[in-house]
Amino acid sequence: MQKFFAAIRNASDIPELWDAFTGYFEQHHIDHLCLIHIPPPGAHDFGKVIIATIGYPDAFRRRYIEDKLYLDDPIPDHARHHPMPFRWSEIGEMRKLTSPQISFLKEVEQLGIGDGLAIPVFGPHGRNGYVGLALGPHNEDTSDELLHEFQAIAQMAHQRYCELLSTEETETITLSPREKEVLVWVARGKSNNAISSILGISANTVDTHLRRIYDKLGVSDRTTAAIRGIGCGLIAP
């Protein structure tokens, strides 16, 4: 176990990370594995859903991304709010499902992946996701001890993934100190006039700063600018 832990933690690129990650689960006879990460709005890679799988039909995998099936998947929706691992089969009891969600679950069931474990994982800047493990006859009864280990491995892999992402991140947006200051107040809901009073500068200057912020962030309104700023970690909570 320590071997895989170390390999995940020290992986120098994403394929290497994925190898270590799947290697671990293969040892535990997990034959269906998926890792899903939906980048937050405002992130530079928003829209690129990450899904790495073992044992899932390739057609389904493609459909999941291209047909935006992940929008109907209730698992990430639940995982976003609740850190504790849960069974797919429990999801109906935990939350009201919409009809697209129900039909999505039926489709998954027809793939022969009826039940499994979802392990929510969390990262910086709202980079959340989950690791899905199908439970088959080999591993129906997962001990608590093993579950803890799965959880630790999953979380560690996700964190390493986020770390690798941020080093690979080419598109680096930088705001000047003054611009950040303005954006912070924008995110607090202040009007240009209010910000000008707070910072002791003219409202026109606030306007100018804001225009440059829009320009740098590639947006054209204060709301998305603020969300993007938070999503990219440019401004602090």
User: Which one of the spans 19-27, 92-100, 141-149, 189-197 is the region binding DNA (CB under 7 A)?
Assistant: 189-197
Q: Least CB distance from residue 216 to DNA, whole Å?
A: 8
Taking CB under 7 A as the criterion, the residue among 174, 184, 228, 233 binding DNA is: 174
- What is the H or E stretch that residue 100 is in? helix 99-110
For a second copy, the closer CB: 125 or 136: 125
What is the Cβ-side half-sphere exposure of residue 24, based on CA atoms within 13 angstroms?
A: 25
Taking CB under 7 A as the criterion, the residue among 12, 98, 103, 204 binding DNA is: 204
What are the two backbone dihedrals, phi and then psi, of residue 35, each rounded to the nearest 5 degrees? -130, 120
CA dihedral 157, 158, 162, 167 (to 10 degrees): 10
Taking CB under 7 A as the criterion, the residue among 63, 152, 207, 218 binding DNA is: 207
Q: Which does 201 bind (CB under 5 to 8 A by kind): DNA, a second copy, none?
A: DNA
What are the two backbone dihedrals, phi and then psi, of residue 52, each rounded to the nearest 5 degrees? -115, 130
53 near a second copy, judged by CB under 8 A: no
Taking CB under 7 A as the criterion, the residue among 119, 179, 184, 232 binding DNA is: 179
Q: Least CB distance from residue 20 to a second copy, whole Å?
A: 13
Q: Which does 137 bind (CB under 5 to 8 A by kind): DNA, a second copy, none?
A: none
Q: Which does 178 bind (CB under 5 to 8 A by kind): a second copy, DNA, none?
A: DNA
Burial class for 235, CB neighbours closer than 10 Å (0-12, 13-18, 19+): buried
Q: Over the range 80-110, which residues count as b (16 or more CB within 10 Å of their CB) and which as e?
A: eeeeebbebeebeeeeebeeebeebbeebee
